[in-house]
A and B are shown apart, each in its own frame.
Chain A
Amino acid sequence: MPIADYLRSTPFKIAAAYAGLFSVSVVVLFGVAYWLVADEMKAALRTSIEEDTHALLDTYRSGGLDALRRAIDERMTDADAPGSIYSVMDRSGAVLIGNSGIAKPFVDWRELLVDPKSYRHSGDDDLEEVLGRGTRIDGATLVVARSLHGLKEVQEVLLESLTWTLGLTVLLALLGGVALGHGAVRRLERINRTFQEIIDGDLSRRVPIRGRRDEVEHLASNINRMLDRIAELMANLQQVTSDIAHDLRTPLGRLHQGLEAVRRRPSSADEYQAAVDHAIEQTDSIFATFSALLRIAQIESKVQRSNFVTVNLSEVASRIVDAYESVVEDAGQSLCGRIAAGVEIHGDRDLLAQMLANLVENATQHCPAGTEIVVAVEGGPAPTLSVADTGPGIPAHERDAVLRRFYRLEKSRTTPGSGLGLALVKAIAEVHGATMTIEDNRPGLRVSFRFPAAATP
């Protein structure tokens, strides 16, 4: 991978930004140290010069010029004080005592350049900066000065370490940035490669997880979960599409056969009539499948929640029991309601009616004569609704599957129905926020719903 990619990577940019920030702080830190050291050292020199000057003045006052000369000579030969300059000059600048480095007499503090040979035996030819103080003594001037050479040396050391530190900081930051950028770019590259493979059609690919527990891994595992979900939805969609195709083939096939049969041989008007009736019946069955699918899709999109109002669940259940009582009786079964009065939920009464109707129809169609079907409504903080029968029931392992579109139990393949009834029931339960349970009624099947309490206005 070209280095330019690392340089463009976010970790590298962050590292570079931090390197810049650290450099500035290093410069500020050293600048302050530099200034403080210089200040402190100069202050110490001033104190030393002041004390020396006062001592020499005392000597002069008590012993005159000769005593002063002796004291200065003594100091100048003192090896402990290199870089000290003493000079007593008259008004014309002629040196009376001490060394000749100071060109002109002056009063008070001054920084000036002096030939170091005048006060030191060894040294360069370069002029040295000194700090001096001049004091008038009678007609002459006493100048006491100290070389600033030491201070300069310290300052140079500081500058040098600043340069090294700065260089090292920037170098380490850039190297770290490239290393981090390399790592991040490589990991993101892996994710990108996975995406590319998925885009190319292999939906089973997943981002590799290394178990590092950092944010990139977290992102990767979320991406994988999202991919799982998408794969599941895709599989579902493919399943439904092929199921639709399969379920529509049957009535379309019958329609075709019927029409063909009546065309093949000359028929009476009655036979034509029967063929047309048969054709209409088949198209109605196709429409019914389509409408049920559309209805499920519409309910699942949850747009209908906005139309929800307070619904009297007891009234809906009673209406269903009333409508189906004779149908169920004709099938040799019985239907009764155990319905608590005035139970209210938040929902859509037409959808709830359809849900209950589907369940009662399922029960009467899939159960033998003699089955008892009970529709029950109970109130309380979480109202419940249930439809129970004493028929053959659904095996435990198939109870989830029956909620899928077009799923039909093997034994019910031959009975009429689209296989969409329970899928619709599930969609309606979900849009109402109800928990749907399919359980054994010992014997038979019991489908129950627990609704959230109706919102009090």
Chain B
Amino acid sequence: MKVLLIEDDVETARHIVNGLAEQGSTVHHAKKGGDGLLLALGRNYDILIVDRMLPELDGLSIVRSIRSAGIKTPVIFLTTMDGIEDRVGGLQAGGDDYLVKPFAYSELLARLHALARRPPLADDDTMLEVADLKVNLVRRQATRRGQRIDLQPREFRLLECLMRNEGRVVTKTMLLEQVWDFHFDPKTNVVETNISRLRAKVDKPFGIQLIHTVRGAGYSLHADS
């Protein structure tokens, strides 16, 4: 994965660069907005990580510029500003995701993977399939080994989200955002509770586990290999 990081805070940047390098990604780092924009325009990256508050040129302007230049590389905004209008503003400027500092590295990584490998036109799929688990998105039905699984609508949405990210880690926060449209951190175990109910219906009767807990990061749906 080729990543461009535009971030002026040295500590945060080192944290991200080291982490991504360990995963085998190539990371270019720009400290200033202007340099970042030049790199983003000049080379091909799989994903851009852009801090919103930057010297010279702020993150929003950078993303607007590259979007108007026709570059469709996915963008994750980083910010210390914890606010709904910031998130909305970032998405309107052409960002694809948004992460508030301080964030767990696993959270960033999960989102990077989700964005960088987002399959094109994923929304048009009508059937999702992982091992013997099949989900019909049109009829809102799930079957495993041909056996119909009776799911609540929220359980179905949860399963759909996990299946679209097959093999990748989906964090608690991502699930809250994508399944319930929650942009805050609940104090209770909304995600855990619903995951365990989903497991009870999807995994337990069939013996083979598809929904895995990734320690300190989130959940991942995949066939054991």
Residue numbers of A with Cβ under 8 A of B are 277, 280, 287-288, 291, 294-295, 298, 303-304, 306-307, 319, 322-324, 326-327, 330, 348, 350-351, 353-354, 357-358, 361, 364-365, 416-417, 421
B181 within 8 Å of A (CB atoms): yes
Mask: chain B, 182-199; 1 = CB below 8 Å from A; 0 = not: 111111111001100100
Those of B75-97 within 8 Å (CB) of chain A: 82-85, 88
Interchain CB contact under 8 A, A348 and B188: no
Q: How far is the CA of A359 from the CA of B104 in the complex (A)?
A: 27
Interchain CB contact under 8 A, B188 and A280: no
Q: How far is the CA of A288 from the CA of B85 in the complex (A)?
A: 20
- B-side contacts of A326, CB under 8 Å: 193-194, 197
Mask: chain B, 42-55; 1 = CB below 8 Å from A; 0 = not: 00000000000000
B153 within 8 Å of A (CB atoms): yes
Q: How far is the CA of A231 from the CA of B183 in the complex (A)?
A: 36
- Which of B104, B184, B190, B197 contacts A324 (CB under 8 A)? B190
B contacts with A, residue count (CB < 8 A): 25
- B-side contacts of A353, CB under 8 Å: 181-184
Interchain CB contact under 8 A, A350 and B190: no
Those of B182-225 within 8 Å (CB) of chain A: 182-190, 193-194, 197, 216
Report the tally of A-B residue pairs with Cβ distances under 8 A: 66
Residue numbers of B with Cβ under 8 A of A are 82-85, 88, 100, 102, 104, 153-154, 180-190, 193-194, 197, 216
The interface residues of chain A, by DSSP majority, are classed as: helix
Interchain CB contact under 8 A, A357 and B83: no
**Shortest distance in angstroms between B48's beta carbon and chain A's nearest beta carbon?**
25
Supposing A323-B190, A361-B186, A417-B187 touch, asked if A350 and B84 sit within 8 A by C-beta, the answer is: yes
Interchain CB contact under 8 A, B85 and A304: yes
**Shortest distance in angstroms between B174's beta carbon and chain A's nearest beta carbon?**
15
- A-side contacts of B88, CB under 8 Å: 307
Q: Quick one: closest B residue to A286, CB to CB?
A: B102
- A-side contacts of B189, CB under 8 Å: 327
- A-side contacts of B182, CB under 8 Å: 323, 353-354, 357
**Shortest distance in angstroms between A109's beta carbon and chain B's nearest beta carbon?**
95
Supposing A280-B216, A291-B82, A307-B85 touch, asked if A364 and B183 sit within 8 A by C-beta, the answer is: no
Q: Quick one: closest B residue to A298, CB to CB?
A: B83
Supposing A304-B84, A322-B154 touch, asked if A354 and B188 sit within 8 A by C-beta, the answer is: no
- A-side contacts of B153, CB under 8 Å: 322
> Could you list 27 A-B pairs, sorted by A, with CB under 8 Å?
A280-B104, A288-B185, A291-B82, A291-B100, A294-B82, A295-B184, A304-B83, A304-B84, A306-B85, A322-B153, A323-B180, A323-B182, A326-B194, A327-B193, A348-B84, A350-B184, A353-B181, A353-B183, A353-B184, A357-B182, A357-B184, A357-B186, A361-B187, A361-B188, A365-B187, A417-B187, A421-B187
Interchain CB contact under 8 A, B193 and A330: yes
